[in-house]
C-alpha cells in the first residue's frame, strides 16, 4: 500500500504543473481573472512536455497517451497529434532480463544462446531464435510488467475524480467512461494468448489472399507471456528502398492497405488496430506483411452493421440516419436532443462540403469538435476503428501524397455491396419520396373532380392580370415554351448514337425566332 501511495504522489507531482497551467488558461489567477488566450504553438509545447512525462513514468502511461491520441472527445487535436508520436518510442529503462521469461516459459525447448534481439517496445521485446532447424520470432513480455501496469492503472483510477473536478461537464462524461476503456485495452495488450488467437483468426481470413501475409503461430510454444511465431522479414513500408525491385507501386500498396483493413473490420469482424509504419512491411515478393497484433479487436455483427450505417449516412448526407448511427454506436446517449444534434451535424456536412480536400482525420476532427456541447463518448471498438483510419490514412499519404483515402473506402464498400452505388442510392431515394407522396397523390383525383364541378357551377373563377402592364398573347408565350421543351429534348438526345439532337435544335431555334419576332412586332 505504501508503494501505491508513493507512486500516486509521484505521478501527482509530475502532472501538477500542467494542471495549474490548464487552470490558468481558464482563469489567469486560478481562482479569479479573465480567460487566457493561448497560442497553438504554446499548446504544442505543453503537449510535448506531457508526452515526455508519460515516457518517463513508464509503460502504463505510454499506453494511456497512445489511447488519448485517438480520443478527440477528451483531448484537443493538437494534443492528440503529439501523443500520437508515442507509437514508436522505446523507453530507456528496459527493466529486468526478458531472457529469464523465455527460460521460465520454454525451458529446454530453445537454445538460449541463439536468442538475438530485433525490436523493443513499451510492453515487450522481440527476439529471434533457432527452433528445430528453423528461425522463429519470440515476442516476450517484460519481466514483472503486469503488476507494475496494474498498480499504475489503480493510480490512474484514483486520479480520475480529481481530474473531473477541473473538467467541463462534457469532458467529465468522457473521462468517466474512458477510465474502464483504458484498463481493457492495456490489459488485453498484455495477454499474448489473446493476441495469438486473434492473429491466427486474421491469418485464416487471408489465407487465400496472396497480396498479404501474416506470420503463423506456434501455439505449443506460446503462453500469456511469450508469443512464438513464424519469422518473416520485409522492408519497412516507409523506407526509401521499400519498393525497389518489387512489382507493386506505393499507390497500389496504399490502396491494398486500406482494402485489407476494411475487410478485417467490416467483413471479417476481427481487425489489427495498429497500422503505423513500424508494423507494416513489404516482402521481397511485394506482399504486405503485418506485425504486432497486440492492439486488436473483435467487432460483433451489430457493430459492423452500425459502422456501415454511419458511413452510408455520411455518403447520403442524411442527418437523421447519421444521428441514428451515432446513437446505435453508443457515441451519443439515446435521450440526446435530436433536433439540436441534427442542426449541428448539418453544419458539419456544410463545413466539409465547402473544402477542396476532405480527409478521414478532417471528418473526425470536425465531427467531434462540433459535438463538444453534447455528452458523447467513443467506445473502445469505435476508438480503435478511428485509430485505424487516422493512422492508416497517414501511412498511405506518406506512400502517395495525392492518395484519396475516402475514394478507396467508398469504392471498396460499393464493391462489397455494403453500400449502394450512386445510381442505386438515387433510385432508392426516389422510391422513398414516391412512397411518402402516395397518400397525397391518392387524394388528387377527388380534389380535381371537385374543382371541375365548382367550375361548371360557376362557383370558381380564375382571374389573371398582366405583369407590369405589358400584355402578351397566349400564342407568343406558347412558342417560347415549345422552344424550351425542344432544347431539353435535344439535351437528352445527345446520349443517342444518332445525331437526332441537331434537327430538334433547329426546330427549337425556329420557334424561338418566331417568338422573338412576334414579341417585337407586338
358 pLDDT above the threshold of 70: yes
Q: Are 200 and 151 in contact (CB under 8 A)?
A: no
**Radius of gyration over alpha carbons of the chain, in Å?**
32
Lowest model confidence (mean pLDDT) among 78-92, 178-192, 206-220? 78-92
Grid cell of 191 as nine digits: 495477454
Q: What is the mean pLDDT of residues 441-450?
A: 58
Concatenating the DSSP letter of every residue in 255-266 gives HHHHHHHHIIII
Q: Are 486 and 505 in contact (CB under 8 A)?
A: yes
In 183-292 the beta strands, taken as DSSP E runs, fall at 212-213, 226-230, 235-236, 270-272, 280-282, 288-290
pLDDT at 206: 95
Query: Over the stretch 113-162, which tens digit does the pLDDT of each residue have?
Result: 888 888 877 788 899 999 988 999 999 988 888 888 889 988 988 888 87
The SS3 assignment for 309 reads: helix
pLDDT at 86: 76
Give backbone dihedrals phi and psi of 11, rounded to 5 degrees, phi first: -65, -45
Query: Could you tell me the pTM of the whole model?
Result: 0.72
pLDDT at 91: 47
Q: What is the mean pLDDT of residues 184-200?
A: 90
Concatenating the DSSP letter of every residue in 459-520 gives --------GGG----HHHHHHHHHHHHHHHHHHHHTTSSS-THHHHHHHHHHHHHHHHHHHH
Grid cell of 75 as nine digits: 483531448
Q: Are 376 and 331 in contact (CB under 8 A)?
A: yes
pLDDT at 365: 79
Q: What is the mean pLDDT of residues 8-29?
A: 83
Q: Which residue has the higher pLDDT, 223 or 508?
A: 223
Q: Are 329 and 310 in contact (CB under 8 A)?
A: yes
- In terms of average pLDDT, the best of 69-73, 254-258, 291-295, 418-422 is 254-258
Q: What is the mean pLDDT of residues 454-471?
A: 55
Grid cell of 310 as nine digits: 454511419
Rounded CA-CA distance 448/431 in Å is 25
Rounded CA-CA distance 297/97 in Å is 30
Of all residues in the chain, the percent with pLDDT exceeding 70 is 81
Residue 47's region, left for phi above 0, alpha for psi from -120 to 50, else beta, is: alpha
pLDDT at 423: 43
Q: Taking CA 462 as the corner, what is the angle to CA 461 and CA 468, rounded to the nearest 5 degrees?
A: 140
Rounded CA-CA distance 103/118 in Å is 18
Q: What is the mean pLDDT of residues 410-418?
A: 85
pLDDT at 427: 47
pLDDT at 372: 74
Residue reference for cell 490514412: 393
Q: What is the mean pLDDT of residues 470-484?
A: 65
Q: In this structure, are strands 280-282 and 235-236 parallel, antiparallel, or unpaired?
A: antiparallel
pLDDT at 89: 46
Grid cell of 367 as nine digits: 465531427
The SS3 assignment for 284 reads: coil
Round the average pLDDT of the chain to a whole number and report it. Answer: 80
pLDDT at 516: 76
Closest C-alpha to 267, from 210, 214, 209:
209
Rounded CA-CA distance 69/75 in Å is 8
Query: Over the stretch 28-86, which tens digit does the pLDDT of each residue have?
Result: 666 666 777 878 888 899 999 999 999 888 888 888 888 788 777 778 888 888 887 77
pLDDT at 422: 45
pLDDT band at 443, cuts 50/70/90? low
200 pLDDT above the threshold of 80: yes
Query: Over the stretch 379-395, which tens digit does the pLDDT of each residue have?
Result: 878 888 888 888 888 89
- In terms of average pLDDT, the best of 166-170, 195-199, 298-302 is 195-199
| Residue 34: partners with Cβ closer than 8 Å, 6 or more residues away | 27, 28
Q: Are 51 and 83 in contact (CB under 8 A)?
A: yes
373 pLDDT above the threshold of 60: yes
469 pLDDT above the threshold of 80: no
pLDDT at 59: 83
Straight-line distance from the first to the last Cα atom of the chain, in angstroms, rounded to the nearest whole number: 103
* 34 DSSP assignment: P
- Which sign, positive or negative, has the C-alpha torsion 197, 199, 201, 204? negative
Query: Over the stretch 292-345, which tens digit does the pLDDT of each residue have?
Result: 898 898 988 888 888 888 888 877 778 888 899 899 988 888 888 888 989 888
Q: Which residue has the higher pLDDT, 106 or 182?
A: 106
Secondary structure (H, E, C), 333-386: CCCCCHHHHHHHHHHHHHHHHCCCCCCHHHHHHHHHHHCCCCCECCCHHHHHHH
Rounded CA-CA distance 50/83 in Å is 9
Query: Over the stretch 155-166, which tens digit does the pLDDT of each residue have?
Result: 988 888 877 776
Contacts 24+ apart (CB under 8 A), 97-102: 97/143, 98/124, 98/125, 98/127, 98/140, 98/141, 98/142, 98/143, 100/143, 101/140, 101/141, 101/143, 101/225, 101/226, 102/127, 102/129, 102/138, 102/140, 102/226
Q: What is the mean pLDDT of residues 389-403?
A: 90
Grid cell of 411 as nine digits: 469504392
pLDDT band at 413, cuts 50/70/90? confident
Amino acid at each position: 500500500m505504501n508503494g501505491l501511495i508513493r507512486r500516486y504522489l509521484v505521478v501527482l507531482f509530475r502532472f501538477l504543473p500542467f494542471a495549474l497551467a490548464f487552470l490558468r488558461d481558464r482563469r489567469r489567477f486560478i481562482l479569479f481573472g479573465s480567460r487566457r488566450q493561448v497560442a497553438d504553438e504554446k499548446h504544442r509545447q505543453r503537449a510535448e512536455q506531457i508526452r515526455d512525462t508519460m515516457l518517463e513514468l513508464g509503460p502504463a502511461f505510454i499506453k494511456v497517451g497512445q489511447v488519448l491520441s485517438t480520443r478527440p472527445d477528451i483531448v484537443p487535436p493538437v494534443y492528440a497529434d503529439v501523443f500520437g508520436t508515442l507509437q514508436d518510442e522505446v523507453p530507456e529503462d528496459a527493466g529486468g532480463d526478458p531472457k529469464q521469461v523465455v527460460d521460465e516459459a520454454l525451458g529446454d525447448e530453445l537454445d538460449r544462446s541463439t536468442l538475438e534481439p530485433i525490436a523493443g517496445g513499451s510492453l515487450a521485446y522481440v527476439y529471434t531464435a533457432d527452433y528445430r532447424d528453423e528461425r522463429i520470432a519470440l515476442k516476450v513480455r517484460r519481466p514483472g510488467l503486469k503488476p507494475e501496469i496494474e498498480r499504475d492503472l489503480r493510480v490512474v483510477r484514483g486520479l480520475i475524480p480529481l481530474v473531473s473536478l477541473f473538467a467541463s461537464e462534457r469532458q467529465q462524461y468522457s473521462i468517466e467512461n474512458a477510465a474502464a476503456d483504458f484498463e481493457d485495452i492495456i490489459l488485453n495488450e498484455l495477454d499474448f494468448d489473446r493476441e495469438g488467437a486473434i492473429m491466427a483468426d486474421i491469418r485464416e481470413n487471408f489465407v487465400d489472399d496472396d497480396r498479404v501475409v501474416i506470420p503463423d503461430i506456434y501455439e505449443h510454444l506460446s503462453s500469456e507471456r511469450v508469443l512464438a511465431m513464424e519469422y518473416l522479414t520485409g522492408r519497412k513500408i516507409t523506407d526509401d528502398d521499400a519498393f525497389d525491385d518489387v512489382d507493386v507501386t506505393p499507390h497500389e500498396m496504399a490502396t491494398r492497405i486500406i482494402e485489407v483493413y476494411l475487410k478485417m473490420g467490416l467483413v471479417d469482424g476481427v481487425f489489427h488496430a495498429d497500422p503505423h509504419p513500424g508494423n507494416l512491411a513489404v516482402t521481397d515478393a511485394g506482399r504486405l506483411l503485418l506485425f504486432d497484433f497486440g492492439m486488436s479487436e473483435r467487432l460483433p455483427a451489430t457493430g459492423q452493421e452500425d459502422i456501415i450505417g454511419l458511413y452510408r449516412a455520411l455518403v447520403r448526407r442524411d442527418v437523421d440516419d447519421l444521428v441514428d448511427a451515432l446513437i446505435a454506436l453508443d457515441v451519443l446517449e439515446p435521450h440526446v436532443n435530436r433536433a439540436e444534434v441534427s442542426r449541428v451535424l448539418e453544419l458539419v456536412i456544410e463545413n466539409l462540403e465547402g473544402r477542396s480536400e476532405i480527409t478521414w482525420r478532417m471528418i473526425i476532427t470536425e465531427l467531434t469538435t462540433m459535438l463538444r456541447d453534447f455528452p458523447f463518448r467513443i467506445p473502445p471498438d469505435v476508438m480503435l476503428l478511428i485509430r485505424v483510419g487516422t493512422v492508416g490514412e497517414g501511412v498511405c499519404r506518406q506512400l502517395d501524397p495525392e492518395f484519396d483515402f475516402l475514394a478507396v473506402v467508398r469504392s471498396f464498400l460499393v464493391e462489397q455491396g455494403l453500400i449502394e452505388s450512386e445510381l442505386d442510392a438515387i433510385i432508392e431515394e426516389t422510391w422513398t419520396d414516391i412512397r411518402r407522396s402516395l397518400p397525397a397523390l391518392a387524394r388528387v383525383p377527388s380534389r380535381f373532380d371537385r374543382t371541375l364541378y365548382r367550375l361548371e357551377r360557376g362557383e370558381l373563377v380564375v382571374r389573371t392580370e398582366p405583369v407590369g402592364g405589358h400584355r402578351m398573347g397566349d400564342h407568343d408565350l406558347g412558342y417560347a415554351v415549345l422552344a424550351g421543351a425542344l432544347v431539353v429534348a435535344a439535351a437528352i438526345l445527345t446520349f443517342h448514337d444518332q445525331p437526332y439532337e441537331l434537327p430538334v435544335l433547329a426546330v427549337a431555334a425556329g420557334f424561338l425566332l418566331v417568338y422573338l419576332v412576334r414579341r417585337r412586332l407586338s
